[in-house]
Structures are given as structure tokens and as C-alpha cells.
Amino acid sequence: MHKRDGRKPQQQKRSDELTHVDESKVAKYKRVTAYSLSRISSFKRKKIQAQRKKVRKSVLHAARAELLLPEDAGFLEADEGEDTARFRQHEIADAVDITSAVKHFDLILPEYGPYTMNYSRDGRHLLLGGYRGHVASLDWVTKHLLSETNVMESVHEVQWLHMPTMYAVAQKSWTYIYDNQGTELHCLKTLHGVLKMCFLPYHFLLATASESGFLSWLDVSIGKMVAQFRARSGRLNIMKQNPYNATLVTGHPNGVVKMWSPNVPKPLVSMLCSKAALRDIAIDDTGKYLASAAMDRTLKIWDLRTYKCLKSYKLKTAGGHLSFSQRRLLAVSLGNFVEVYKDCCSTTVTSPYLRHKAEGTVNKIEFCPYEDVLGIGHQRGFTSILVPGAGEPNFDALESNPYMTKSQRREMEVKALLDKIQPELICLDPKMLGKVDVKTLQAKVDERNKKNWGNPITIDTTSALLKDRRKAAREKAQLKAEKKRQLIQEAQKEKSQKKADTSRKSQGVLERFKAKP
């Protein structure tokens, strides 16, 4: 007689599918190794075992979902004795298929440079802005020009908004918003003298940094200024956003990096990244690593979880601009050269992964999302180069779809507005928003003492470790004061002894006529 399984057939089928997952793929998603439970009480052991089953199930689901990813990321592989940094762009273009080869191109526009640029979130559209007023938007994959205009004044920064139908341009005096046909929609006079812009897609916030030192957050969905205050750090020409928690990160001439939220007029974190002035910073998509380049030719990689320096490199010249790709490749501009480094956060690299010489001095670099492409805005125009292994090969169509139709774009815009996150939720640790707010012991005691009945309770909530530290510091200060007191007493005693010895010496009448030695 067979024992009947209490599970439903569908659940049993799913569990059987999870048991046949390759262990090599499962090991890829494991976070930590399991420790022994022999010294843990039986009650806690059951809870930990149940938690381990959930973790194991999630790891199996993640490993099995990898079967649905159709594409794999690739890299340049050099033969023995060769260096990938010596490969030229025409050699890479000749070795790849025609679809990838056409992604390498040059736009020579010497009259309006230097150029700044920005890719849309789906990686399909490109926005160019020349310092002398030239602004153009295009579908860079098909090379179809969407709009082109001359604003007749200097352009400092360009930025796509929530959809590739609107973009913002930071001009000489004010900031303007245009549609994809080049028609002016809004003139934002409250954003004056803007040098850098970032767009927070989940909050619909346009964040700007101005030459007068002001940080601003503008809600583009309702046209409301959420926050605007002076950073008190001088001219703000270095600003990036942290995709992990939507905070703004600014770099300053004194080598300090600061993190900002629209809810607090003071920096959330201030960290000294260099003794020299900073040139640029970059943050990867996971929000774990920060790269900083300074005037003393140093390139440092920082861990934003511990705020410690992981790697420090010495460049040939001071790095001008930095950019992280989706697969954590780091691009660094050195004058008119651009170098790309691979695995520079986890391992110590000695040579660049790829090197390219631009037509002029580099003004901005940015990796294209979901493509193995690096965009370079320079003095004489724009250059798109191939960087194998830079982009994420698989995209989530519900997050950003490069091939979406007009109806899909409308639906995505409405869905994004419904899922909009309020700016009050921007903080340093976004995980704390989903946690239960447990009252502390001191809060419970204060709440109990506010009631009219019962005697008030006084409890010292200071931790034992803190008490020991305070006691040790107090004893150390007492020993220091006692030692200082003894030294002063010894000095006074020695001084009085010398004075007594000199007074005992007899002075005769004729002593003054003796020859001095």
C-alpha cells in the first residue's frame, strides 16, 4: 500500500522541477555558508531551519529562472602575448556581426562643441547638447533624427525625463523642458545657473546642482519644487545619483564627497575621499561601489556599505570623467583618451581592458544601457565605441523596453505615475522602510511615566559596553591628571632645592675681586 502525499499534484510538480536544478548554478546564487546548529537551543534551531528552507527555495528559483535568460554577456579574449588594450575599434567592428558593427560611429560637429550627452533609460534614444547652443535628439540605433535646434545660448547639461518624449536642457540662465520635436514646453526660472542634472525615475524628480551652490528637486509630474537649499560647499559641478537609494552624491574641491536627501538640508554622509580636489565621481547600479578621481592622479574605489577604500590606483594623468557600466566596467577619461577597466572593484588591475583615442578633449562619457556601447562627448562632436561585455544582455520589458510601441509607452507612463514614490521616503537605507518600528525601552518607559496611575519608573538604558568605555575613559583621564600633577610637584621641588643650595654658599668681602673662570 503506497503512502499518499498530502500535496497537490501541481505543487508536487513544482517541487520536482526545483530538485533537478544544476548545483553549479545554485552555487552562483548562494550568499553565505551554513554554520553548525549543534550549540543552539531547540526552539531557535527550528526557526533557523525554517528560514534556511525559505532561503534554499529562493536560491533554487533564482537558479531555475536563469534558464529564461536567452543572452549571455561576452568579453574580449586576447591570445597569448596580446593585450586587449591594443585592440582598435575598426578591428573590433570587423570581428563582430553587422548589427553590432554599425553601433560604432562618429559625429563630427566642430562648430558647436564641446558636447555633453545622455542616453534614455531603455538605451534606445540619445540626447546631444553642444556648449554653443546645438541640441539634438535621435534614435541612435536607426540613426533617425527626432529633433534638432539651436537655443542661441550656452548649454551646460542635457537630461532625458521619465519618457523619451521629453527632455530638460540646462542653458545659460534658466532650465528649459522640450518635447521630442524640439518644442519648448516649460521655462523653469527657479532652476538658475544649473551645471548638473539627474532624473530620479521612480520619484519623478529632476535634481539639479547650480553654480551658486544650490541643490534642487523638482517634481515634473505636478510641477512642484519639492526642496531647494544651499549646500554651502561652493560651486557644484560634480553630482551623481545613487540608484540604490535615490540620494544625490556631490564632489567638492576639498576632496569631500557628500550625500544628500531632499528631506534634510544637511548632508546625510560626508566622507573624505582625497586630499586633493576631486575631478569626478561614479556610482555603480547596485549602489555598493563609488569611484573617485582627484587632481593628484589617484583613482579610488570605495565601499558605500562600510565607507572604506577598497582599491587605490595611480593614473598617468588626472582622471577627468568617470562612468560605470551595468556590468561594473569603469570608464575613465584622460584628456583626449578614454580607458576602460574590468573588475577594478573586486581585484587589483594593472592595465586597462580597452583604450580609445577621441577626436578632441573629452567632455563627458556614459555607457549605454543594455548595449555594449560607450558614448563619448568631446570637443569635436560625439563618438560611439564598442565595449564588449559592458551592458546587461537581458532586459526586463516591464522596467524598460527598447522596443515598446506607442500604446505600450502610454501604458508604462500611466503605470509609473500610479507607482510613483513620494520624496519623503528618500533616505540612506531604503530597507528600513519595510521594517516594523519597534519601540525602544526608553520610549516604553517614557510612555509608562506619562500615565497618571502608578509610580514613575527610572531605568538606566545605557549599555554595559558604553558604561565600560566611559569608565575606562574616566580612569584614563584621572591617571593622566595625576601624572601631570606629580611632574609639576617634582619640578617645583627641584627648583626650590636649587634655590636653597645657592643661598647656603658663603660670600666673602673680597670674593668679588677673584678672577672669573
Q: What are the sequence ranges of the domains in the chain?
A: 84-113+273-393
Judge residue 137's burial from the number of C-beta atoms within 10 Å of its C-beta, 0-12 exposed, 13-18 middle, 19 or more buried: buried
List pLDDT tens digits, range 312-321: 999 999 999 9
pLDDT surpassing 90 at residue 26? no
Is residue 40 pLDDT above 50, yes or no? yes
- DSSP codes, 190-203: TS-SEEEEEEETTT
Integer Cα distance of 326 and 285 in angstroms: 6
Give mean pLDDT, residues 225-230: 95
Prior bond to 114 cis, omega within 30?
yes
What is the C-alpha to C-alpha distance for residues 344 and 352, in angstroms, rounded to an integer? 9
Mean pLDDT of 207-222: 96
Beta-carbon contacts of 299 under 8 Å, excluding residues fewer than 6 positions away, are 291, 292, 293, 312, 313, 314, 315, 319, 332
Q: Which residues of 159-175 are buried (b: 16+ CB within 10 A; e: fewer)?
A: bbbbbbbbbbbbbeebb
- Fold held by 84-113+273-393: Methylamine Dehydrogenase; Chain H (2.130.10)
Q: Which three cell numbers stand for residue 295?
A: 587632481
Reading the block at residue 352, the C-alpha cell is: 586597462
- The proportion of the chain whose per-residue pLDDT surpasses 90, expressed as a percent, equals 60
Identify the CA nearest to 290 among candidates 323, 334, 317: 323
More confident residue, 508 or 55: 55
Give the span between the Cα atoms of 301 and 312, in whole angstroms.
Answer: 6
* Overall average pLDDT of the 177-198 stretch: 94
- pLDDT confidence band for 504 (50 / 70 / 90): low
Q: Is residue 184 predicted with pLDDT exceeding 80?
A: yes
**Is it the case that residue 195 has pLDDT exceeding 80?**
yes
Lowest mean pLDDT among 90-94, 138-142, 394-398, 451-455: 451-455
Question: What average pLDDT is seen over the chain?
Answer: 88
* Over residues 291-320, mean pLDDT: 94
What was the pLDDT predicted at 443?
Answer: 85
pLDDT at 179 over 90: yes
**Residue 359: is its pLDDT beyond 60?**
yes
User: Amino acid identity of 174?
Assistant: W
Band (pLDDT 50/70/90 cuts) for residue 3 is: very low
Mean pLDDT of 320-335: 95
- Could you give the CA distance from residue 442 to residue 444 in angstroms, rounded to a whole number? 5
pLDDT at 272: 95
Give residue 339's pLDDT.
Answer: 96
Residue 308 has pLDDT above 90, yes or no: yes
Classify the C-alpha dihedral 372-375-380-381 as positive or negative.
Answer: positive
Residue 465: which pLDDT band, with cuts at 50, 70 and 90?
low
Give the amino acid at 366.
E
The crossing angle, in degrees rounded to 10, of helices 42-65 and 9-19 is 80
Which pLDDT score, from 0 to 100, does residue 248 have? 97
Residue 109, φ and ψ in degrees, nearest 5: -135, 75
Alpha helices (runs of H) in 326-452, residue ranges in sequence order:
406-418, 441-449
Report the range of poorest mean pLDDT among 11-15, 235-239, 287-291, 437-441: 11-15
The pLDDT assigned to 395 comes to 83
Decide if pLDDT at 463 tops 70: no
Helix (H) or strand (E) holding 205: strand 205-210
Q: What is the pLDDT of residue 510?
A: 63
Residue with the larger pLDDT of the pair 66 and 10: 66
* pTM for the model: 0.78
Q: Which helix (H) or strand (E) holds 466?
A: helix 464-504
Give the pLDDT of residue 2.
Answer: 45
Evaluate if residue 129 carries a pLDDT over 90.
yes
pLDDT > 60? residue 13: no
pLDDT of residue 225: 96
Tell me the three-class secondary structure of 62-90, residue by residue. HHHHHHHCCCCCCCCCCCCCCCHHHCCHH
Q: Position of cell 522602510?
A: 433
**∠ Cα 387 390 391 (to 5°):** 125
* 151 vs 136: CA distance, rounded Å: 11
Can you tell me the mean pLDDT for 54-68? 81
Give burial (CB, 10 Å; 0-12/13-18/19+) of 31: exposed
Per-residue pLDDT at 1: 43
Which grid cell sits at 376? Answer: 563619448
Return the pLDDT at 238.
96
Distance separating alpha carbons of residues 335 and 357, to the nearest angstrom:
9
Residue 394 pLDDT greater than 60, yes or no? yes
Name the residue with higher pLDDT: 355 or 33.
355
C-alpha cell at position 264: 534634510
Alpha-carbon gap, residue 126 to 116, rounded angstroms: 11
